[in-house]
Every structure is written in C-alpha cells, then in structure tokens.
C-alpha cells in the first residue's frame, strides 16, 4: 500500500520569504506594540503584551507540537493536478507553481509521523500561505492517507487547520474532499483512535464543515476566526451588523463548539495530557475493545470529584509500556480498515 | 411565478401555445389547419432540438433554479403511495428548509429526506429558499438514524443553494451539523440513494449526499460554490456568473465525468417542469433499481463500498 511508504529524508526547511531578517522590529496588528522580532519568535509569535497570536507557518507548528527530531514527513510528493483546466486571471497550474515557490511546500498541508511528548502520533498541519490553505484533491488525499495510517498503526491523529475552505479551482472535486476525510473519521471513531483537531486563524468553509469540527477534542488558539460562512458573506446576507467577537474562538467556545481555547505555548502539553488519558483509559481495560464500554460521563467540578471506584472499574493495566504502540486494540475479524 | 419563463424558453413556449390554441379552436378536420399544425409542430421540434441539445452551463443553472421546477415534496407526491412527514431535531427547532419522513414506494417502506424550496414568496420565507439551518441537518440525521434502526433504506433529494450563512446558523454550529452528517452517513447500515433534483449547493448539499448512489437530474447542478459567489471572488463581479458556471463545470454530465456521481437521469425535453410526472417516473425507476441492487449487499459490504467510493474521489498526482 503506497500510503504506508515513509520517506526517511528530513523535511526540507521551507523557504521563509515572509519572515523578517534578524533584528528587525515588528508591530502587533492588534495592540500596535512595537516588538523585537527575536523576542516575538521566542514567544512562539504571540504578542507578549496583548496575547495576539500571529499567523505562523506549518513547519512552526510541527516544531511546536512534536518532540525534536521525531517528525518524518509522509506523502510530500502527493500534489495537485488541474482537473478542470481552470483559468481566471491566471492559470490554476501557475497559481500552484507560484504557491510552491512562495511557500517551499508542495501543497497546503504537511503530513507526517512524529512523537508528541513521547507518544507516537500522525500529524497534519495546514498552511494558510499556500493558496489560503484551501482544500484541494491532494490535500484531501494526504489527510485520508494520514487517517489510514492512524487506523493501520492505531495511532492518534492530530490535525492543525488553517483554511479558507475548499479550493474553488478544483470545483466539485474539492467539495468531495469533505466527504472523503469525514467517512474515514467515522472509522477512527469506531475504532476508538483519538483525533484531536486544533483550529487556528482562520478556519472557515468546507474545512470547518468537515474534519476540523469532528475532533474527539477540539482546541482553538485564542482569537482565531472560525466559521462556516465568511463574515463578509454573512453580512451581505443578513444585512445587519455582526455581533462583537462574532466567529472568534471565544464566540465558538461560548456556544459550545470548542473544548478549550489553548494558547500556542500550551498546545503540546494539552494535547499530550489528553492523549495520555485516552491511552491509559483504553489500555487499563483488560479486554480493551470488548470490555471498554462508553459510560455516562460524570460531570466534573471542584465540588463533585470523580469517585475513585470509577478509576478502579477499568481493571488492572496491562499496557502502558512505553514501547507499546498507543491504543493497541484487538481487531475482531482480523481485517484492516482501509 | 406561474407565468414565469426563461428567456431562452420563451420562443418554444409561445409556439407551443399557438399550436395548442389552434388545435382547440378548430374542431373536426380542416385540411388547411392540419397542414399548418404539421408545419408548426415540425418547427417546434426543430426549435426544441436547437435549444435543448446545446444548453450552456449557465442555462442549466437557470433550469435547475427554475421557479416552476418540481421540488422535493412534489416528487414525493408523485412517487410515493404514502408519506408521513416527521418534524424537528429534538434539540432546538423544526427547520422547514428540510423535509423528512417515512414513506412507501411500490409498497416498499423507506425514509425520505430532502431540501425543500418554496413556490412563492410566502412559501420561500417559510422554507428559507431551501437553505437549511443546523437544526435542518440535525433533523436529517435524526431521521437517518431512525431509518438505520428500523432497517429502512434512505432516499434523499438535494435541492439547495447552500446551507444558510446567517448569525443564528453560526451560533448553533452550521459547520458541526454538516460535518457530523458527513461522518455519520458513513455509519448508516442501510442503502442510501441521493437524487440531486435542482441545485446541489456546496456543503449544504453534500450533507445529504454521502450515499451509495448519487444521481443527478439532467438539468441539475452540483457545485462547490455558486456561480455568483465564484464570479465575485474571481472577477469581483457577480454578474459574471455565466462565465463562472463555465469554468466551474457544474452540470450533471460534468459531475459524471469527474466520477463524483453514479448516473444521470434524463429529464423530459425542456426540463422537469415541462412534464413533472414524467420526471418523477424516471426518478422512481432509477431509485427502485438502485435500492434493488443495494439491497442484495450485506451491511458490512455496503459500508465498505460506500467508504471506498468516497476515498476514490479526487484527482492528484505523485
Ligand atoms: Zn499585541
């Protein structure tokens, strides 16, 4: 199976034409504070004064989320074609070529395997710099292959989204990538393989209306624009002013569509903690796939601590060994799910 | 609405009206009139051929949106002996932009879910022009799961400009509702057949179309973005929608060529609205055949094939 093939070459460092040279000052677009670039970089491109999360490139997220030296890119050579022979002011093929040149990437997502806090994971990071992080057939295919890898290895999926939606220049095929990724997520869910969705600024359109909204746990960076329709389209449709903070992370949180708003500096730790809980939960049950039944969850609060017996009822741990793959589950009929 | 005709339809409709008037007013045989009728019929045939075999993509869009075009409830009326509509998402509201219910076709039980447009202004306000809110998609999923539990095959009709882009829709999770349907449709262990009868508008359409078989009526469209929206982005001019329709390749035959749908259902000459019952009969024939075929598969095979079908869609290189 071709998707299983892994490339051993290290990911090449994408060219950083957007990055400023050392020693340059930069202005926070939110609070107008003048910031020393080096300091901003040390702070993961978050304004130290107001907490504004600057948009960063996919390789930065790879750096932030994975243990050093563990990331191995997969399917870097899956790239776009031009099924519609699409041309507006520019040919689509030229648009892609320009994006490749500008970003140093082959497509709007980088995928690979890595360790996060020592846990093996499959990671995908979309990059807004590549045609607005738009979902093309190649993007859908790379996500699908990553999800298949998760199923094969029983490893969790982590997907960082940043996208304006489907890539119009691939027409209906780009729309269908929503279905393609979502039907595989149904399999992950059925197999109890965790999927953590991380939303960054901006995540809209077909990406939000598919995999980005389907995480077992959904995290978002503060202040990210997240929505189905873009604010401009909504404003035109409803012909009224939009509410304050509309479609920002905090708005989604308030309406119940996010688990947590997590600052960039805490992403790795938060994901690691969540994955470990899932891992230990599944591995603690003695007949993982069979004995583990979803139970009514107990609402937790300071006043209502989880009773100890709840932990005990999973039985003795037989996994948890660092060398074991995460979420080793019995395969009832011995068939792989691809 | 009842006397609305598209510009390119008008000559044909006028000629047809003349023919039927001539017929009506001449009782008995009149050789002269007969000759004239024959001539006009021939002319009408030629005219229909000229227009409808060379439809541009934009003309198809116009037909797909035709105010006379049959809608979901019309087809249900013609195709089913029985339909019991069911309402509500059990969480927030009942969305009239999506209708759902239990039905019988040829005695066989099934569930039907579809977008519903309105025929006039009042109806369209009620139906929100067929643009669902999250509660519409949640109602659809509720009926899908009901059907799954009672082993009922599911038929969906797609006819929407798109999911509604509004403040309430965002507050209640339009994205989540659509995404959840895409995922959960992959788990329904009953045959799923979709017919796109008019507008297949983006994610709002797809949320009812992750099906074992997806068919499109000949003059329906399926698109990632509306031609107007596309033109607005590409040329900052929504009036260039006809050009956008061309580049988007959004017709039924385009979709078939790209491997996105499983088949095309012929419409009566001039479009489904020219002979709605005939269109309904054609849909019924195709749908019954599909259910027959899918009914032979055990649930596991059905789900596996559905998964593979969607995994195989896309054009890329490596
Ligand atoms: Zn600031």
Query: How many Cα atoms occupy the beta-carbon half-sphere of B304 within 13 Å?
Result: 9
Instruction: Tell me: do B164 and B235 sit in the same domain.
Output: yes
Please compute the mean of the pLDDT values over residues A74-92 and round it to a whole number: 94
pLDDT greater than 60 at residue A85: yes
Contact in structure between B213 and B253 (CB atoms under 8 Å): no
Give the tokens for residue A327. 């979420």
Instruction: Tell me: do B158 and B281 sit in the same domain.
Output: yes
- Amino acid B209: pLDDT: 98
Q: For residue B16, is it within any domain?
A: yes
Please compute the mean of the pLDDT values over residues B154-162 and round it to a whole number: 98
pLDDT greater than 60 at residue A323: no
Please answer yes or no on whether B315 and A227 come within 8 Å at the CB atom.
Answer: no
User: Residue A159 contacts by C-beta under 8 Å, 6 or more apart in sequence?
Assistant: A123, A124, A125, A126, A143, A146, A195, A196, A197, A198, A211, A212, A215
Query: How many Cα atoms occupy the beta-carbon half-sphere of B111 within 13 Å?
Result: 26
User: Residue B34 contacts by C-beta under 8 Å, 6 or more apart in sequence?
Assistant: none
Give the tokens for residue B233. 């982005």
Please answer yes or no on whether A257 and B176 come within 8 Å at the CB atom.
Answer: yes
Taking the CB of residue B26, how many other CB atoms lie within 10 A of it? Answer: 14
Q: For residue B240, is it within any domain?
A: yes
Question: Nearest Cβ partner of B178 from A173, A209, A237?
Answer: A209
Q: For residue B180, is it within any domain?
A: yes
Please answer yes or no on whether B315 and A81 come within 8 Å at the CB atom.
Answer: yes
Distance from CA of B92 to the nearest CA of A (A): 13
Taking the CB of residue A93, how many other CB atoms lie within 10 A of it? Answer: 15
CB of A199 within 8 Å of a chain B CB? The answer is no
**Nearest-angstrom CA–CA distance, A163 and A109:** 10
Q: Per-residue pLDDT tens for A35-75?
A: 998 899 999 999 999 999 999 999 999 999 999 999 999 99
Mutate to test the interface with A, among B158, B183, B188 (most CBs of A within 10 A): B183
Rounded to two decimals, what is the model's pTM? 0.89
Please answer yes or no on whether A88 and B170 come within 8 Å at the CB atom.
Answer: no
Query: What spacing in Å lies between the alpha carbon of A255 and ligand 1's midpoint?
Result: 26
Distance from CA of B34 to the nearest CA of A (A): 50
**Nearest-angstrom CA–CA distance, A276 and A117:** 9
Give the tokens for residue B73. 């409830």
Please answer yes or no on whether A246 and B314 come within 8 Å at the CB atom.
Answer: no
Please answer yes or no on whether A233 and B230 come within 8 Å at the CB atom.
Answer: no
Query: How many Cα atoms occupy the beta-carbon half-sphere of B22 within 13 Å?
Result: 19
Q: For residue B114, is it within any domain?
A: yes
Q: Is the dihedral of CA B223, B134, B139, A293 positive or negative?
A: positive
Taking the CB of residue B233, how many other CB atoms lie within 10 A of it? Answer: 13
Please compute the mean of the pLDDT values over residues B74-83 and round it to a whole number: 98
Binding residue numbers of A for Zn(2+):
28, 31, 47, 50
Question: Nearest Cβ partner of B163 from A77, A79, A228?
Answer: A228
Instruction: Tell me: do B152 and B262 sit in the same domain.
Output: yes
Span of A98-102, A289-293, B11-15 with lowest mean pLDDT? A289-293
Please compute the mean of the pLDDT values over residues A287-314 and round it to a whole number: 38
Q: For residue B59, is it within any domain?
A: no
- Amino acid A320: pLDDT: 36
**Which parts of chain A fold into alpha helices (H)?**
37-42, 58-65, 92-103, 137-153, 171-190, 231-238, 249-254, 267-284, 288-291, 308-312
Average pLDDT, chain B: 96
Taking the CB of residue A17, how many other CB atoms lie within 10 A of it? Answer: 10
Taking the CB of residue A272, how many other CB atoms lie within 10 A of it? Answer: 17
pLDDT greater than 70 at residue A142: yes
Contact in structure between A129 and A65 (CB atoms under 8 Å): no
Pairing of β B98-105 and β A119-126: unpaired
Number of A–B residue contacts, CB under 8 Å: 191
Q: Is B282 exposed, middle or buried (0-12, 13-18, 19+ CB in 10 A)?
A: buried
Which residues of A are less than 8 Å from B170 in CB distance? Answer: 227-229, 234, 246-247
Instruction: Tell me: do B279 and B197 sit in the same domain.
Output: yes
pLDDT greater than 60 at residue A187: yes
CB of A249 within 8 Å of a chain B CB? The answer is no
**Nearest-angstrom CA–CA distance, B239 and A256:** 39
In chain A, where are the structural domains located?
55-279
Residues in chain B: 318
Instruction: Tell me: do B281 and B152 sit in the same domain.
Output: yes
| CATH code of B103's domain | 3.90.226.10
Please compute the mean of the pLDDT values over residues A303-316 and round it to a whole number: 34
Please compute the mean of the pLDDT values over residues A1-6 and round it to a whole number: 35
Instruction: Write the CA distances from A47 to A37, A265, B1, B192, integer angstroms.
Output: 10, 12, 57, 50
Q: Closest-CA residue in chain A for B228?
A: A233
- Amino acid B23: pLDDT: 86
Burial call B66-81: b when 16+ CB within 10 Å, e when fewer: bebbbbbbbbbebbbe
**C-alpha closest to that of A11 among A101, A77, A56, A97:** A77
Query: What spacing in Å lies between the alpha carbon of A53 and ligand 1's midpoint?
Result: 8
CB of B22 within 8 Å of a chain A CB? The answer is no
Q: For residue B191, is it within any domain?
A: yes
Give the tokens for residue A299. 């609402």
Split into its structural domains, chain B has a count of 2
CB of B246 within 8 Å of a chain A CB? The answer is no
Contact in structure between B238 and B232 (CB atoms under 8 Å): yes
Model confidence band, residue B3 (pLDDT cutoffs 50, 70, 90): confident
Q: For residue B35, is it within any domain?
A: yes
Q: Per-residue pLDDT tens for A194-248?
A: 999 999 999 999 999 999 999 999 999 999 999 999 998 999 888 888 998 999 9
pLDDT greater than 80 at residue B171: yes
- Amino acid B167: pLDDT: 96
Give the tokens for residue B31. 């050789």
Distance from CA of B224 to the nearest CA of A (A): 5
Instruction: Tell me: do B114 and B152 sit in the same domain.
Output: yes
Domain span including residue B38: 7-54
Q: What is the ipTM of this complex?
A: 0.96
CATH topology of domain A55-279: 2-enoyl-CoA Hydratase; Chain A, domain 1 (3.90.226)
Please answer yes or no on whether B175 and A184 come within 8 Å at the CB atom.
Answer: no
**Nearest-angstrom CA–CA distance, B255 and B241:** 19
């Amino acid at each position: 199976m071709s998707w299983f093939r892994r490339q051993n070459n290290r990911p090449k460092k994408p060219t950083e034409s957007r990055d400023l040279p050392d020693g340059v000052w930069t202005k926070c677009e939110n609070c107008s504070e003048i910031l020393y670039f080096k300091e901003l970089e040390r702070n993961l491109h978050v304004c130290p004064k107001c907490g504004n999360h600057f948009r960063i490139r996919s390789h930065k997220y790879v750096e932030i989320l994975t243990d050093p030296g563990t990331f191995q890119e997969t399917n870097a050579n899956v790239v776009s074609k031009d099924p519609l022979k699409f041309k507006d002011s520019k040919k689509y093929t030229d648009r892609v070529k320009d994006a490749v040149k500008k970003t140093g990437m082959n497509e709007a997502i980088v995928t690979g395997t890595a360790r996060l806090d020592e846990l093996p994971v499959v990671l995908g990071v979309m990059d807004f710099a590549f045609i607005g992080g738009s979902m093309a057939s190649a993007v859908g295919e790379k996500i699908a292959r990553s999800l298949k890898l998760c199923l094969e290895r029983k490893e969790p999926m982590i997907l960082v989204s940043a996208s304006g939606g489907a890539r119009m220049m691939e027409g209906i095929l780009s729309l269908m990538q929503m279905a393609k990724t979502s039907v595989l997520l149904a399999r992950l869910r059925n197999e109890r393989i965790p999927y953590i969705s991380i939303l960054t600024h901006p995540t809209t359109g077909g990406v939000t209306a598919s995999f980005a909204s389907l995480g077992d746990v959904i995290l978002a960076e503060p202040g990210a624009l997240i929505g189905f329709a873009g604010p401009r389209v909504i404003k035109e449709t409803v012909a009224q002013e939009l509410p304050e903070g509309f479609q920002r992370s905090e708005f989604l949180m308030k309406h119940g569509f996010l688990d947590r708003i997590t600052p960039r500096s805490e992403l790795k730790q938060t994901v690691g903690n969540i994955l470990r809980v899932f891992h230990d939960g599944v591995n603690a049950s003695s007949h993982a796939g069979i004995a583990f039944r979803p139970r009514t969850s107990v609402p937790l609060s300071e006043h209502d601590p989880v009773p100890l017996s709840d932990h005990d009822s999973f039985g003795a741990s037989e996994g948890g060994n660092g060398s074991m793959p995460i979420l080793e589950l019995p395969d009832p009929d011995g068939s792989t799910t691809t | 609405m009842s006397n609305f005709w598209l510009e390119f339809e008008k000559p044909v409709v006028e000629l047809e009206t003349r023919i039927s008037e001539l017929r009506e007013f001449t009782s008995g045989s009149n050789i002269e009139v007969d000759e004239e009728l024959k001539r006009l019929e021939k002319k009408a045939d030629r005219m229909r051929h000229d227009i409808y075999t060379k439809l541009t993509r934009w003309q198809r869009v116009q037909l797909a949106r035709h105010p006379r075009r049959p809608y979901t409830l019309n087809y249900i009326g013609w195709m089913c002996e029985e339909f019991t509509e069911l309402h509500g998402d059990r969480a927030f509201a009942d969305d009239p932009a999506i209708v759902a219910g239990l039905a019988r076709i040829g005695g066989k039980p099934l569930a039907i879910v579809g977008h519903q447009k309105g025929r006039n202004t009042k109806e369209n306000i009620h139906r929100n022009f067929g643009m669902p809110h999250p509660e519409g998609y949640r109602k659809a999923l509720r009926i899908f799961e009901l059907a799954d539990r009672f082993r009922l095959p599911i038929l969906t009709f797609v006819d929407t400009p798109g999911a509604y882009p509004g403040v309430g829709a965002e507050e209640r999770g339009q994205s989540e509702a659509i995404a959840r349907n895409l995922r959960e449709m992959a788990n329904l262990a009953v045959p799923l057949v979709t017919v796109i009868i008019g507008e297949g508008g983006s994610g709002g359409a797809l949320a009812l179309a992750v099906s074992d078989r997806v068919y499109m009526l000949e003059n329906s469209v399926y698109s990632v973005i509306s031609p107007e929206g596309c033109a607005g982005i590409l040329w900052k001019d929504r009036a260039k929608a006809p050009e956008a329709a061309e580049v988007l390749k959004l017709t039924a035959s385009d979709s078939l060529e790209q491997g996105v749908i499983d088949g095309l259902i012929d419409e009566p000459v001039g479009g489904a609205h020219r002979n709605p019952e005939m269109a309904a009969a054609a849909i019924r024939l195709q749908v019954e055949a599909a259910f027959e075929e899918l009914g032979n598969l055990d649930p596991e095979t059905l789900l596996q094939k559905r998964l593979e079908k969607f995994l195989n869609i896309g054009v890329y290189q490596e």
